[in-house]
Amino acid sequence: MKGFKTNASATWDAFIDPNVRFETIGDSISGTLVALEAREFDDGGRAPHLTLMTPEGERYLTASSRDLVRKLVALAPSLDSTIEITLLGIEDIPGTDLQRKTFNVRLIDPSEASGQLEDDGTNFIS
């Protein structure tokens, strides 16, 4: 179209899924924690639900893996902290359709005391 201009990068950015999923070892997300709430499931379970501000915009993460929850609780990032979460491993749980996922969670906010929690070999069901 004559006279029609578009920013292709911004157009493609609109198709980025805002929900974070860790499916492949090495999958990672980093961003500033802007909201933290509890997500309730139909079965009565609860999990932390994080909203992260990233260069791509707001991204949403429900921390349903016990390993990830344990590491987030130990690190206890405050709002406005910048964190990085990386999937370290995936293990099938024999006799089930479930997988055990292990994560690295790192605080990268320079105004906070830096901390890092890595997998300590403890197995949790995700």
Is the model's pLDDT at 3 over the cut of 80? Answer: no
CATH for 46 = 2.40.50.360
In a domain, 82, yes or no: yes
State how far the Cα of 112 lies from the Cα of 77, in Å rounded to an integer: 9
pLDDT per residue over 100-113, tens digit each?
A: 999 999 998 565 44
9 domain-assigned:
no
Does residue 67 lie in a domain region? Answer: yes
Place of tokens 């992260």: 52
Give yes or no for a contact between 85 and 103, defined as CB atoms under 8 angstroms apart: yes
Q: Is there a domain that residue 1 lies in?
A: no
Residue 13 forms part of a structural domain: no
Per the DSSP assignment, residues forming a β-bridge with 85 are 29, 105
pLDDT tens readout for residues 5-22: 555 555 666 677 899 999
pLDDT at position 8: 58
**Is residue 4 situated within a structural domain?**
no
For residue 81, the model assigns a pLDDT of 93
pLDDT tens figures, 59-103: 999 999 999 999 999 999 999 999 999 999 999 999 999 999 999
Residue 75, helix vs strand vs coil: helix
91 vs 102: CA distance, rounded Å = 9
Indicate whether 88 belongs to any domain.
yes
Give how many domains the chain has, as a whole number. 1
Mean pLDDT of the 34-52 span: 95
Instruction: Please tell me the predicted confidence (pLDDT) of residue 124.
Output: 39
**What's the confidence (pLDDT) of residue 56?**
87
Q: Print the domain residue range for 51.
A: 18-117
Q: Is 35 part of a structural domain of the chain?
A: yes
Tokens of 37: 């709430």
